[in-house]
Amino acid sequence: MGRIHQKGKAGAAKAYITRSSAVKKLQCSLADFRRLCILKGIFPREPKNKRKANKGSSAPTSFYYAKDIAYLAHEPVLKRLREHKAFAKKLSRALGRGEWSSAKSLEDNKPVYRLDHIIKERYPTFVDALRDIDDALCMVFLFASLPSGQRLPPDLIENCARLSAEWQLYVMHTNSLRKSFLSIKGVYYQAEAMDQTITWLVPYQFTQNIPSDVDVRVMLTFLELYQTLLGFVFFKLYTDAGLVYPPPLDVKKYEAAAGVGAFSLQETGRSSSSTNPKHKTVEIDGRTVSGKDVRQIIKNIAASEEDSEMDSSSHVVQHSPAASQEEDFVLHPSKHTETDASLPTYKSLETLPKPLSTTLFSPYTFFLSREISRPIFEFIIRSFGGRVGWPASSGDGSPINMDDLSITHVIIDRPMPPIALSVQEKEQRSRRKYVQPQWIVDCINAGKILLEEPYTQGQTLPPHLSPFGELEGAYDPTTAINNGSQLEEEDSESEDQKAEDVDENGDRHDLKSSLKNVIEDSSALRTAELAAEVAGVDYDAFKKEVGKLERKKAEEQPVNAVEEDDMNKMMMSNKKRKLYEKMRHSQKKKESERIVLEAKRKAIMKQKKRDGKH
């Protein structure tokens, strides 16, 4: 007989600990526990069997790993929190007694904690940290836009604004912005740094206040962590790029709302003389480690520059008539692949994944009109190498003014003015292109300069699609456009039938009957193709017939297969069956959504056609 095992001494009962007992064990308040969990990145776990983990009780509780909690118990921050508790008591006592001097000295010796060891712990390598800065960036950009108040001290907001500007500067400097999306929630940006894709969301520029159903303490704790994290990440990014961190701030410009322009990037070499020796050693430390990275980056930048040069030369090509042919479909370069693509054509090559041009806008100069949100478009344009100016009402520091002759595009979001233009304005308009802001974002998402016509001032814009794509199997509006032609085809088919009834041309029937058995195998198809050629049927018509038959056959064939599959499902094990059902369920859901959207689209198209006829 083995040893008698006591209950609750091993297994899940020991591995898990409930939240209340964790708080008791750490001897801190729940608020402190939460703060610690946020800072240390500890989250509850779901035990496989709740009753085993909770002494036989199945009451709803949150569990933590006991080891996680044991690891929290040695946390220096916890010690500091305890000290802070004692400090708060002492301070309140001193204030209550009116001992102002001792209160002041207490306040001077207030315990503070640092988070750098936590950053190192949570992100042992730089890539780990970089992978996780999405949320940090979102938060910092959000808080940079909030008004300071009683709960949000102004220096916090200022620090957030500084961090967000530093990130934007880095992205602009390295041309690492890849995609952007104007959504109803805000603007999504996606950048690539050190092979990590970083996506962040920036709200539109409106004053927002923190709603009452949001716990600010939690947000501020997160923000505390994120500020530290971003500081270290930016330090590394800047030093690796050979820049000084933090970038010096020009207070005068900053006061005049120059935004990102208030900061100036400095090369490390130049600044080393001016910075104090201590700072310098740190930077050198950083560089010795990552010298290789720096070289790599330099190489990359050089390569990308070459690419961009090539691209810019190809722009000229795109403005040629070939581009104007695909005028309506400019947004969706992938849909012309249907033409039989055994040989690489220009279009099939075009759809291949190519290195995105990072200096797309370098030949152009933009001017933002005053209703354009400057931070968004200044950032996007400068990230893609363009020059950009703005009126004084949007802030200080514009490198060019409205009358500059080098301006090629004016980003404008106003309807066309009803009054007649003056001669000077007309001349200006002839020299410049007046486009709506969506053009910029669509250009960078497409990776090329799109035609300006659909985006000119006052035009109804083409739909703005997500550059991040849809979920797999979901409705794709770009393919739906292709199917639009199919819709027409169906219409024409009915017309064809009428025509067939009228003239008794045997040719078509022959073709059809021969095609029926053709679908079975490809060699027969080949012969049928030849036969059709001999008969003098033109290739497009032939293709159409084949396509129709194939579709019909595809509709018929599954009926049998589906039945067989249904029966074979009986032989699945329970586990597999459940899994299968789950998968089918999600598939069906997507399918039904797609069908609904397609039906809607068809209805809209029909409506439009009807409106067009009337």
Partner 1 sequence: MPPDGLKNSRKRKQVDEDTYTPQNTVQLEMLTDEEDTGPVSSDDDETEEFPEIDSGSDSESDQEGIEDDDEQQSDDDSDELDSDASLRIFPKAKTEISDITGKPKRVYPEIEADYDSDSSTEDAPNRVGNIPMHWYDDLPHIGYDINGKKVLRPARGDELDKFLATVDDPDAWMSAFDKNLQLDKPLTNEELDLIRRLYKGENPDIGYDPYEPMVEWFTGKGKEEIMPLSAAPEPKRRWIPSKWEKQKVMKIVRAIRQGRIVPNKPKSTNKMEFFSIWSDQPSALQQPPAPAPKVRLPTNSESYNPPEEYLPTTEEQEEWKQKDREDRERDYLPQKYPSLRLVPAYDRFIQERFHRQLDLYLAPRVQRVKLNMDPKSLIPKLPSPSTLRPFPNYKSLSFAHTKGRARCLSVSPDGAWVASGDEGGVVSLWEVNVGRETKRWQFKNKVSSIEWCPRMDVSYLMIGVEEELHFLIPPNLPDDIYSRTKSLLSPSTLPAQPSPSPLTWESISLDGQSIDKPILSIRLPSSSGTPTHIAWHRRGDYVATVSTGGPQNNVWIHQMSRRHSQAPFKKVKGSVQVVLFHPTKPHFFVATQQYIRIYNLSEQQLLKTLNPGMKWISSMDIHPSGDHLIVGGYDRKLCWFDLELSDKPYKSLRYHTRAIRSVCYHPTYPLFASSSDDGSIQVFHARVYNDLLTDALIVPLKILRGHQVQEGLGVLQIKWCTRQPWLLSSGADGQVALWCS
Measured CA to CA, the distance from residue 463 to residue 476 in angstroms comes to: 13
Nearer to partner 1, 413 or 496 (CB): 413
**Contacts (CB under 8 A) with partner 1, residues 86-115:** 108-110, 112, 114
428 versus 438: smaller Cβ distance to partner 1: 438
How far is the C-alpha of 129 from the C-alpha of 522, rounded, in Å? 54
Q: 28 and 80 in contact (C-beta within 8 Å)?
A: no
For partner 1, which is the closer residue by CB, 109 or 492?
109
Pick from 142, 169, 262, 407: which binds partner 1 (CB under 8 A)?
Answer: 142
Query: Angle 396-400-402 (CA atoms, 0-180°, nearest 5)?
Result: 95
CB of 182 to partner 1, least distance (A): 5
Whether 144 and 161 have beta carbons less than 8 Å apart is answered as yes
CB 463 to partner 1: min, Å: 4
Among 83, 413, 529, 550, binds partner 1 (CB under 8 A): 413
Select from 71-79, 282-290, 316-324, 422-430 the region that touches partner 1 (CB under 8 A).
282-290
**188 is a site residue for partner 1 (CB under 8 A):** yes
Phi, psi of 451 (to 5 degrees): -65, 145
- Contact status: 609 vs partner 1 (CB under 8 A): no
The answer to whether 570 contacts partner 1 (rule: CB under 8 A) is: yes
Q: In the set 552, 584, 606, 609, which binds partner 1 (CB under 8 A)?
A: 584
Write the binding mask 143 to 182 for partner 1: x where contact by CB under 8 A, - elsewhere: ------------x-------------------------xx
Bridge pairing between strands 433-435 and 365-368: unpaired
Q: Which stretch binds partner 1 (CB under 8 A): 128-136, 504-512, 536-544, 551-559?
A: 128-136
Q: Binding residue for partner 1 (CB under 8 A) from 399, 427, 580, 595? A: 580
Least Å from the CB of residue 340 to partner 1:
27
3-state secondary structure of 577: helix
d(CA 75, CA 32): 12
Site for partner 1 in 29-58 (CB under 8 A): 34, 37-38, 41-46
By CB under 8 A, how many residues form the interface with partner 1?
Answer: 112
Burial grade of 178 (CB within 10 A; 0-12, 13-18, 19 or more): buried
Q: Residue 260: which of 161, 359, 189 has the closest Cα? A: 161
Amino acid at 329: F
Region near partner 1 per CB under 8 A, out of 5-13, 137-145, 258-266, 345-353 = 137-145
Are 240 and 286 in contact by the 8 Å Cβ rule? The answer is yes
How far is CA 147 from each of CA 142, 153, 165, 205, rounded to the nearest angstrom? 10, 9, 17, 12
Q: Which residues within the stretch 227-256 sit at the binding site for partner 1 (CB under 8 A)?
A: 227-228, 231-232, 234-236, 239, 245-246
**Site for partner 1, residues 333 to 392, rule: CB under 8 A:** 371-373
Q: How far is the CB of 283 from partner 1 (least distance, A)?
A: 8
CB of 428 to partner 1, least distance (A): 21
We find the least distance from the C-beta atom of residue 546 to partner 1, in angstroms, to be 27
Which residue from 121, 306, 328, 404 is in contact with partner 1, where contact means CB under 8 A?
121
Print the SS3 string covering 254-302: HHCCCHHHHECCCEHHHHCCCCCHHHHHHHHHHHHHHHHHHHHHHHHHH
For partner 1, the binding residue among 175, 312, 362, 436 (CB under 8 A) is: 436
For residue 366, the SS3 value is: strand
CB of 10 to partner 1, least distance (A): 22
Give the C-alpha separation, 331 to 445, whole Å. Answer: 9
Report the half-sphere exposure of 391 (CA within 13 A, side-chain side). Answer: 10
